[in-house]
Chain A
Amino acid sequence: MLKLPVFKSLTFFLGLLPLGYSIYQVYQLQVGGVNVLGADPAKALVLLQGEWTIRFLILTLLVTPLVRLTGWRQLQRVRRMLGLFTFAYASIHLMAYLFLLLEFDFRNLWADILKRPYITVGFAAYLLLVPLAITSNGFAIRLLRKRWAILHRLVYGIALLAVVHVTWLARSSYLEATVYGVIVVLLLFSRVFKDKLASFQGTLRRPV
């Protein structure tokens, strides 16, 4: 088993890789190297950051059930970091959309938010992430106590909004949306029936 600081640093490094890869792609494009981003690079970037947002969100939600299933408690110690990576990638996704795709044209931003349902839910999901990111520290946990746990259950709502966002974006295939949707629903299910699952596991672990 890895020592905690090593494990945390490793997770941090891995979490930065997708961003690092995007920066490398943009750099390549700017210096006229290999164009991996294609004919519509800004859009490709926005999509990629969005995909990593939902992946990190799912990873964050997977932590608790995985700890429960495997007993690998170290995992619990990187949950906050994964949550913050989710917020970071969501922020980059939104910023890339605003600055690169919309060229920071607010008139069109409001039109998009109000008229395009997939942008409406995506934007709502982002706004709901903000309080979670702000309260992801020891101070807030101590201050909010029980209310902290209640507040952070919002993450399941956010995950559902994210799945709706991906579904409404899909034009020709629902494969991605289905995969994300099934995972999120399973995680939500495991959360709701947490106690029943725990007692079921208890029966399994009890020596015969």
Chain B
Amino acid sequence: MLIKRTRASDIPSSEITSETVFHERRTILKAMGLGAVALGTPIVAGATSGERKLYTNEAPLSGPVWLQDKLKTLSPSLYSTTEAATPFEYVSTYNNFYEFGTGKTDPADNSQNFITDPWVVEVAGEAELTGKYNLEDIVNPHTLEERVYRLRCVEAWSMVVPWVGFSLADLLKRFKPNSNAKYVRFETLHDPEQMPAQASRFAAINYPYVEGLRIDEAMNELAFLSVGVYGNAMPNQNGAPIRLIVPWKYGFKSIKSIVKIEFTKRRPKTTWEMSNSREYGFFANVNPDVSHPRWSQARERRLPTSIFRQNYVDTLKFNGYGPQVAHLYQGMDLGRYF
């Protein structure tokens, strides 16, 4: 028989919030008009206000143990859009990751044995703290948040993806870049044994894949480093274990499987610019007014589409993130610097 004795340190049951009240807490806060204050005002157009559920892909947590631990404390972000996210099934099977093949399903098919743990990121160039860092040391000081961003591909389709990660600026500041650091250059892993298409003689681009941002772009609040989607570790085909997300630029700027971050004085030569400078520029800001030779950029098809409905939506300048980023390009001729 269990005899329950009351100790002085025990909380009297009269003090315990009843379950009903506990669950009504947010409703009560909202009713008091405190919702926006207590829970934050959305920053991005179409962003969430008040409470929001985090996205999940219903699978058990994956990735290295240290990452799984961090994923448990994931928090929502005020930069998230409330637009419905593209289902995980499509986010993880419709990819442009040419290192693993050119078809949209090739990356999912060919990247399953890709080794992303252990992973080392080299930090180099115009900064005080350069060197090689284990991914864990890169990620650990940061709190992971979920950012639901629109992703606009230069091929005129788009998705909405719940990324998991942290602010790029927060990371870059840790390395103490000096005043010569005018640009940040990123590089993808080059490993033709694991990434078979890198060895192809018919590849239209050179490897390793290189991308870059101007330092003020990189320090913008929206620039994000992502280590996962849908509350879980990043699938290999989406750019595991760590990738860039710059939501106001075409998708190809958001470089995947990063192994090197370099602070540079000069503007880095980026992969697509080198491959075809008439079609792809360094800035690659989403812009419905600047047409691409192959695709009109005036509108986009929001995936998933169905056979008989293409979900056309008008493309927004800077992919709808103008209020946060338009000031970066003040006075620039965006038709010329596309």
Contact = CB atoms under 8 A, between A and B. Distances in A.
Interface of A: 26, 29-30, 37-45, 100-101, 103, 108, 111-112, 115-118, 168-175, 178
Interface stretch (B172-180, B242-250, B289-297): B289-297
Nearest to A119: B294
B9 interface: no
B119 interface: no
Contact of B93 (A38, A112, A115): A38
Contact of B200 (A40, A42, A173): A173
Contact of A42 (B204, B293, B305): B305
Interface string B272-313: 000000000000000000010111100001011111101010
A29 B294 CA distance: 29
Given A39-B104, A42-B307, 15 more contacts: A26-B307, A38-B90, A38-B94, A40-B94, A40-B104, A41-B307, A42-B310, A44-B104, A111-B296, A172-B102, A172-B203, A173-B98, A173-B102, A173-B202, A173-B204
A26 B312 CA distance: 20
B307 A172 contact: no
A39 B197 contact: no
Given A111-B296, A171-B204, A173-B202, A39 B86 contact: yes
B105 interface: yes
B47 interface: no
A170 B307 contact: no
A118 B93 contact: no
Given A38-B93, A115-B291, A116-B293, A175 B310 contact: no
Contacts of B304: 39-40
16 contacts: A26-B307, A29-B306, A38-B90, A39-B94, A39-B159, A40-B157, A40-B304, A45-B307, A115-B291, A115-B296, A116-B294, A171-B204, A172-B96, A173-B102, A173-B204, A174-B202
Contact of A40 (B295, B296, B303, B308): B303
Nearest 7 interchain pairs by C-beta: A39-B90, A175-B202, A39-B94, A172-B98, A39-B304, A173-B102, A39-B303
Interface of B: 86, 90, 93-94, 96, 98, 102, 104-105, 155, 157, 159, 197, 200, 202-205, 291, 293-296, 301, 303-308, 310, 312
B149 to A, nearest CB: 17
Contacts of B202: 173-175, 178
B305 A39 contact: yes
B85 to A, nearest CB: 13
| Chain A binding surface, main DSSP class | helix
Given A40-B104, A172-B205, A174-B204, A100 B296 contact: no
Nearest to B306: A41
A103 B305 CA distance: 12
A42 B307 CA distance: 5
A111 B292 CA distance: 13
Contacts of B305: 39-43
Nearest to B301: A40
Contacts of A42: 305-308, 310
Nearest to A168: B294
A39 B307 contact: no
B103 to A, nearest CB: 10
Contacts of B102: 171-173, 175
Contacts of B296: 108, 111-112, 115-116
A178 B305 CA distance: 31
A102 B157 CA distance: 13
Nearest to B201: A175
**Candidate in A29, A45, A170, A174 with the most chain B CB atoms within 10 angstroms:** A174
Nearest to A36: B105
A38 B200 contact: no
Contacts of A30: 307
B90 A170 contact: no
B197 A173 contact: yes
A65 to B, nearest CB: 25
A40 B102 CA distance: 15
A173 B275 CA distance: 11
A29 B304 CA distance: 12
A116 B93 CA distance: 28
B9 to A, nearest CB: 56
Contacts of A111: 296
A165 to B, nearest CB: 12
A168 B98 CA distance: 17
A29 B306 CA distance: 9
Contacts of A115: 291, 296
B268 to A, nearest CB: 20
A42 B306 CA distance: 7
